[in-house]
Amino acid sequence: MTAFHAMVGFNGVWLDMNEASNMLCTGTCYDNQKAAMPVQNNLPYIPSGRDLESKAISLDAVHADGTVELDAHSLYGTMEVHNTHNWFKDTQKERTMIISRSSYSGMGKYGSRWLGDNFSTPEYMAYSVTGVMGNNLAGITLAGSDICGFIGNTTAQLCGRWYTLGAYYPFSRNHNGWNYEPQEPWVFANVIAQGSTTI
């Protein structure tokens, strides 16, 4: 980071996609790599109810030191935040803003978090409230979500309501994915001026 900082001065870092991932395969790429008894099949509870190996490496993968991926998956992101925090503290002698997607117990001591990719729907706007509060309870005080949603096209009404809610997030931003309609506030100026929607 020191060499990059010398070229481009910065005083904060956004650590996105900072967990071990695999965009090409689900868990393993070849059948002979699959565990005989996958650990995911024995979990008493599966967060989100979806395949935890989707776009990720196998939860059964064993690291060089013998650690199983299930136990280290989110720890990787937290250690990245921890090391980034220490670089700023020791090298730059400053406290900085570090936003992470991946987190593990204790990460709130070193950085902040946003809730990751969400959808442009009222349901995901509602989910963001409990998501932010859950992070706050876990000691990550600066947490928030993508206002108006990241995946899909929003509407003036949804975006306006989300901005109102987002004013109460400890951290928020408007951010959406490629190939979706722009959703900056000024995009909806004509819609609001024509009175065709209520915000």
| Residue 19 bears catalytic tag | yes
Catalytic pick from 16, 51, 181, 184? 16
| Residue 71 bears catalytic tag | no
Residue 9 carries which side chain, given as an amino acid letter? G
Q: Which residues are known catalytic residues?
A: 16, 19
